[in-house]
A and B are shown apart, each in its own frame.
Chain A
Amino acid sequence: MSQIPTDLRYRDSHEWIRPSEAPASVGITDHAQEELTDVVFVELPTVGAQVKAGDQVAVVESVKAASDIYAPVSGEIAEVNEALSTDPSLVNTSSYENGWIFKIKVADPTEVESLMDAAAYEKHLA
């Protein structure tokens, strides 16, 4: 069973966002990293870029396939996780902590509210 922390919000394409932070971290879920396995490269977004919810902003490459990562909410990319450039496997080993991909300045907090909570995401996976 994959981990689904209760303090996060989830997009149906398996990104998570941590609303308690400003800017808020975004990454991929434990379920997503399990499916991909063996992440070997992460193409990070550009800091300062203005993105809309649902925009393709990053790419996670595993040996198996390249997977697009979408912005769960609209806003400005505030920071990217440079540690992934040297160790992309952090996405596998620490998908909710050290494996975060970027931080976003949330433009509209109601967009966060509209994302799934842990219970809804668990149902989504079932």
Chain B
Amino acid sequence: MVPFAGWEMPVQFKGIVDEHLAVREKVGLFDISHMGQFLVSGEDAEAFLNRSLTNDVTALSPGEGQYTLLLNEEGGVIDDLILYRTSPKEFFLVVNASKAKEDWQHLVALRPDKEDITMADLSPFTAGMAVQGPQSRAVFARVFGMTAPYPERNSVQMAASVEGFMWSCGTGYTGEEGFEFFPPDEEGPAWYRKLYDAVVAEGGQICGLGARDTLRLEMGYPLNGNDLSPERTPLQAGLGFFVKLDKEAFVGRDALISQKEEGLPDKLTAFRMTGAAPPPRAHYPVLRKGEVVGEVCSGTQSPSLKCGIGMAYLPLALSKPGIDLEIEIRGRTFPAETCKKPIYNKKPSTPASDSPTP
């Protein structure tokens, strides 16, 4: 167990590699009760969120969700989050545990007094579980019944339970099929046991923070605090797709526009170790031809690829696949090269399918 944002979190149960491969091949269950949840509703909720977040809230129909970011005025990242529209005038936000308090204060400060916006911090009253892996649908059917509609990718469903409401979301942090489920806190243990039984019945296992980290890093998903920070913009983090500069004004937009005009100083770039090496870890220096060009933000040993992988902010000229780098580990350098994201592709394209047909 390790302390994490005020919570005691398990790093691993059976072992990170075992748990990681269970998610890639079958299914895994994560306790994500530490994550924060907000409910924002009212006549003016949509416009308020659209001014506060980078993605286009108006693109969401009820039952849909999107990845989005909360920025400071300088365009730096306060947090990355998922926003779901649960009804025309109600939104459900899932934020990082370590930033929940800051996010809340930031949104409260941005909320105009005279508008019809109600905000509720559900974090203390809401448990959370993520089921991830190819067998997630089977787990869902076992727990919620064959006729219950499965939350498809980026969709959300809300249902009433004894103690309050619960949300099922077609999202995750692993790159696999899966869903996240947020029941009332009091019902958390009972739901966990049900999901646990179903996951075990499908040949899966329970997973800790360790596997959560290796799974997300193989996909090149950023972790706030490691790969995202108030000093860097989502454009630098390679998240431009989730930033709609052409929508109405939002916090940080001006800074992003001028950064885009001036050109990005650096960009979050994936890399992999090219020989036998210790796993790269956060803060190790990254070198290019012997010169320090950055430092590792996130790094680990990829259980799927069986080599070291990581991400680092690198000057734009080096931020493309196939650039030779060295990672300095305890005074020695080990070869690495930049690569595309996701770092791990579940179904690698075979040379045959890439070659043009005569």
Contacts and interface: CB of A to CB of B under 8 A. Distances in A.
Contacts of B276: 41, 85-86
Contact of A41 (B17, B210, B279, B303): B279
Contact of A37 (B15, B300, B330): B15
Interface stretch (A45-53, A60-68, A108-116): A60-68
A64 B212 CA distance: 12
A42 to B, nearest CB: 9
* Consensus secondary structure, chain B interface: loop
A107 interface: no
Contact of B12 (A41, A61, A64, A86): A64
Interface string B271-301: 0000011110100000000000000000011
Nearest to B20: A63
A43 interface: yes
A63 B278 contact: no
Contact of A38 (B17, B278, B281, B330): B17
A63 B301 contact: yes
A59 interface: yes
B330 A63 contact: no
A10 B105 CA distance: 52
Contacts of A62: 16
Interface string B291-326: 000000000110100000000000000000000000
Interface string A11-38: 0000000000000000000000000011
B17 A37 contact: yes
A17 B134 CA distance: 45
Contacts of A59: 278, 330
Q: Size range of the interface on B?
A: 10 to 19
A38 B279 contact: no
B41 interface: no
Interface residues of A, number: 13
B281 A66 contact: yes
B17 A61 contact: no
A37 B279 CA distance: 14
B11 interface: yes
A86 B214 CA distance: 22
Contacts of A61: 278-279, 301
B277 A37 contact: no
B281 to A, nearest CB: 7
Nearest to B210: A64
A40 interface: yes
B214 A63 contact: yes
Interface string B238-282: 000000000000000000000000000000000000001111010
Contacts of A86: 276
The 3 nearest A-B residue pairs measured at CB: A37-B15, A38-B17, A41-B278
